[in-house]
Amino acid sequence: MRTLIPQTKSLKIVLLLVVSAFVLAACGAVQLNNWPGLTAVDGTVYMAQSQVRAINLTNGTELWHYPEKVDANNITFGAPLVTADKVIVGNYHNVVTALDAKNKGAVLWTFKDFEAKGRFIGRPTLAGDLVLVGSTDKVVYALDVNTGKLVWSFKARDAVWSAVTSDDRFAYVSGMDHYFYALDLKTGQKSWEINLDGPMIVEPVVGENNLVYVATMADELVAIDVEKQAVAWRMDTTGKTWGAPLLHEGTLYFGTDKNKAYAVNAATGSAVWSFDATAPIVAAPVFLGDRFVFASEDGQVFAMTAAGAQDWKQTVKGKPYSSPAVTPELMVVGGVEMEFPLVAFNAQGAQVWTFTAPK
């Protein structure tokens, strides 16, 4: 267990990207210097990079975008939440908007109660009829998914960058304040908390056997037993984890900014395998076909078997920082400084299409 002074090179890089986005937005400049948030559902990939774009997964053509023009007061980078009929996003002006998924992104409702008080960086998540979203204003908001009305709110000690996750009892919050919070899902009241000795920027992952997993910027992966309200195990990692671990059949897969890809036993925290990538891994991995796909900062997109052997590898021009959007047959990669904002690959690693926003 260690204490982190959060002034590492990697954290400075991300802070620079996010803060520069804020500054440019305040100046009214058009900017795309942060990586996009991606979500794929029912034949469509939704990309949030200043504007929100709906793109056909079959051929990479744009279906609609919102707002019509880039608006300095309405820029979004967090991955959209997609329900049966809504696309819900939080922007960098502390506003949550629900768009009509079936009517070209028409606005259904907005939540503006605390406009300009903070930034929504993590994606919104759905818990029953509640939309959960954390803000840099230190507050977690629970909104009615149908109306956008505030149901409850909770204030942490410091900013909440990550998405909020939940089970049928609690909403789980990983904070920049080093605290992991469990909130009563119905009321938003804090049920319990644990100080994990490092800031957290990625969402908790809910697993089986009462375990929830979270990565800290203190170079650790931590499993928390929610019944005992205590740490079940801790694993030291080589580097920091910037994308939420992928839990698949009892194993956690994730990468770090020290060029490491890991597979870890979810029950015990023991390493199943590790792999040396060619550059830092910022994006979360995805499961595609029967492979686990990672993307590293130097543009390498590579697939690993469950046994830890590298299968196929492709290269994109740019830095694929975005956690890919994935369906059973297709994966969409995004990032910064990309030749194409989006690149789609099939389960065999073949490039299917590229996307460039229409002018």
Residue 56 to residue 64: CA distance in whole angstroms = 10
pLDDT at residue number 262: 98
Residue 87 to residue 45: CA distance in whole angstroms = 11
Quick one: average pLDDT of 213-242?
98
What is the tens place of the pLDDT at every residue in 297-329?
A: 999 999 999 999 999 999 999 999 999 999 999
User: Pairing relation of β-strands 170-174 and 165-166?
Assistant: antiparallel
Q: Which residues contact 7 (CB under 8 A, 6 or more apart)?
A: none
Element at 91 (helix H, strand E): none
Residue 181 to residue 328: CA distance in whole angstroms = 33
Percent of the chain with pLDDT over 70: 91
Instruction: Of 200, 276, 233, 261, give the one whose Cα is nearest residue 4.
Output: 200
pLDDT at residue number 7: 41
Quick one: average pLDDT of 161-189?
97
Query: Which domains are present in the chain?
Result: 37-155 (2.40.128.630), 237-359 (2.40.128.630)
Residue 239 to residue 279: CA distance in whole angstroms = 12
pLDDT at residue number 131: 98
**What CA–CA distances, in Å, run from 137 to 121, 205, 216?**
11, 23, 20
Quick one: average pLDDT of 189-200?
98
Percent of the chain with pLDDT over 90: 90
- Which pTM value belongs to this model? 0.92
More confident residue, 33 or 258: 258
pLDDT at residue number 19: 44
Question: Under a CB-based contact definition with an 8 Å cutoff, are residues 203 and 227 in contact?
Answer: no
Q: Is the pLDDT of residue 274 over 80?
A: yes
